Amino acid sequence: MQRKPSRAEKGTLRKVLRLVGRCRWLILLSALFALVSAALTLAIPRLVGEAIDLTAGAGQVDFSALGGVFFRIAACALGLFLSGWLMNALNNRVAYQTVRALREQAFERIERLPLSYLDAHPVGETVSRVITDVDQFADGLLLGFSQLFTGVVTIAGTLVFMLLTEWRIALLVVLLTPLSLFIARFISRRTYSMFKKQSEVRAEQTALIDEMIGSAGVVRAFSYEERAQKRFDAVNDRLAAYSLKAIFFSSLTNPTTRFVNSVIYAAVALVGGLFCIGGAALTVGGLASLLSYVSHYTKPFNEISGVIAEFQNALACASRIFSLIEEPTETPDAPGELSGVSGGVTLDGVCFSYDKEKKLIEDLTLHVGAGQRIAIVGPTGCGKTTLINLLMRFYDVDAGAVAVDERDVREVTRHSLRRHYGMVLQETWLKGTTVRENIRMGRPGASDEEVVAAAKASHAHAFILRLEKGYDTVLAEDGGSLSQGQKQLLCIARVMLCLPPMLILDEATSSIDTRTEKKIQEAFERLMRGRTSFIVAHRLSTVRSADRILVMNGGRIVEQGTHGELLARGGFYASLYHSQFAH
């Protein structure tokens, strides 16, 4: 049962060591200060023992020698403070440089992951990996650096000092020590899998909270609060169960090792006292030093045991981060660049499905001439948005080819393909910056006058001027208090600004009132003139002027033609059209 987590743990540990290895010089400096700190820590008990021996005889105290010993103790204490501070500063730098690199790698990988991965994983779970899991990893890493180095050095140093003071007692301590190591190992082997489950359920909880907050309006509209609470309680209960198990086992480490250490301390005190009484070469000051060394020797075992338990949590979180970083990226770009596009688009025998066991688009063939206006209609789930995803190469076809100006889109970079498309989607996206910069995303080098002209063309200018600071109003994340229609107008203004050779309008006016929609349609008429345009629409009244209407059903084009031709046939399109206008 325990072998699989052990192998996974070792693999994750190797990756962590490779990542931390980038800061090897800082680690070496930290180790050096750990040595200095341990040496000074161990020097103080020996000096205290000397002071005790100087005061052992009544009326025979050498105050000048005692003053020298106190001065050396003070100097050691000051050196211990400075070395400890420098060591912690270096450890912090190593930990947070490592965490920064880890987050950079994770975010860079997210930017290059295929949409299939992002569509299949809740946003909250991915955010939890990049934020919460990395923070947990940082805490474990920092604790490890802070206590592991000094702990190991202190154990080795105290052993040397104990051997020099009384080797027989030192041997007794060494024989009893493996009990602490056995307990720490026994517990650590059982905590890794529990901490990993805790991280997974924590990510599930984050995803659920993100979903409920993002859909708060829908939750209340459908009176889903009670069911949402039950879902949350179920996840929260599982998180509590895994957390309690992990914490229970990890918390056993400290009291059990303390018990073993107390037994060792008592044994040393008893045997050392017998040595002093029996006339052995062990003074009272030597015994005091020896007992202090035993405390210093056993204390790191408590700390290291705690570090190991915390490190299990850190490794469990690290394994989730590395699994994200190691996810396969989308197919690398070909070196070709797409330029001078006229707008001809061809789909030749295209087959595609999200789930390979459930067929969606099969043997789809389509030729669109430059400047043509193509409307795509059909029932929900027929493949309209999937076709757009293939045109933009958000997904690659399973078979066949998609070509622009007779050039396979897989032979050019995604950036060079997508910069020739202008998209207005039903789902808007605005970033947390000014209105002006949100519109300028369409063409970053555009002048202020061009931005205003694009806003006027999209009929967004009037409401922008009503904002507190007009075009300089800073929007909150995803548009903040703007209505859905206002957000959509800003997205339309972006396209009006960049004027690409090809357009994709996916329910572009779905959130706009009828009066404004009529004005937008007039603006689109001017915009689409001479440009290849793909219009996805549910309201069939908006596609009457298209050069060709593609009627999709079940991933296939079942009909195509002009509005008049399709109505005259009395087929699937006609039934869709008449169903929308039936009284």
172-209 pLDDT, tens digit per residue, is: 777 777 777 677 667 766 676 777 788 788 888 888 88
* CA-angle at 551, arms to 547 and 552, nearest 5°: 140
pLDDT digits (tens, 9 = 90+) for 125-180: 888 888 888 888 887 777 776 677 777 777 887 888 778 777 787 787 777 777 77
Dihedral-angle region of residue 449 (phi above 0 means left; psi in -120 to 50 means alpha; beta otherwise): alpha
The share of the chain scoring above pLDDT 70, in percent, equals 88
Residue 202 and residue 174: Cα distance in Å, rounded?
Answer: 42
Q: What are the residues facing 408 on neighbouring strands?
A: 403
* CATH architecture of structural domain 24-325: Up-down Bundle (1.20)
Q: What are the residues facing 421 on neighbouring strands?
A: 502
pTM: 0.65
| 60, pLDDT greater than 70 | no
Q: pLDDT value at position 506?
A: 81
Q: pLDDT value at position 171?
A: 81
CATH 3.40.50.300 domain span(s) along the chain? 345-580
| 229, pLDDT greater than 70 | yes
Q: Which CATH number fits domain 345-580: 3.40.50.300, 3.40.50.1240, 3.40.50.620, 3.40.640.10?
A: 3.40.50.300
Mean pLDDT of 483-493: 82
CATH 1.20.1560.10 domain span(s) along the chain? 24-325
Tokens of 32: 């050096």
Residue whose C-alpha is closest to residue 343's, from 395, 391, 376? 391
Q: With bands split at pLDDT 50, 70 and 90, how would you rate the model's confidence at 339?
A: confident
| 5, pLDDT greater than 50 | no
End-to-end CA distance of the chain: 67
Q: pLDDT value at position 73?
A: 84
**In contact, 114 and 86? CB cutoff 8 Å:** no
Q: With bands split at pLDDT 50, 70 and 90, how would you rate the model's confidence at 6?
A: low
Residue whose C-alpha is closest to residue 166's, from 268, 42, 313? 268
Give the sheet arrangement for strand 361-368, strand by strand: 361-368, 345-352, 399-404, 407-408
Consecutive H or E run containing 532: strand 532-536
Q: pLDDT value at position 204?
A: 84
**Of 36-40, 65-69, 106-110, 461-465, minimum mean pLDDT range:** 65-69
Q: With bands split at pLDDT 50, 70 and 90, how would you rate the model's confidence at 583?
A: very low
Residue whose C-alpha is closest to residue 208's, from 222, 219, 197? 219
Mean pLDDT of 320-327: 86
pLDDT digits (tens, 9 = 90+) for 66-87: 777 788 888 888 988 898 888 8
Q: pLDDT value at position 4?
A: 43
Tokens of 76: 């050691």
Q: Give how far Cα 125 sits from Cα of 212, 293, 313, Å.
A: 14, 48, 17
Mean pLDDT of 327-353: 85
Mean pLDDT of 549-564: 84
pLDDT averaged over every residue in the chain: 80
**Of 1-5, 269-273, 327-331, minimum mean pLDDT range:** 1-5
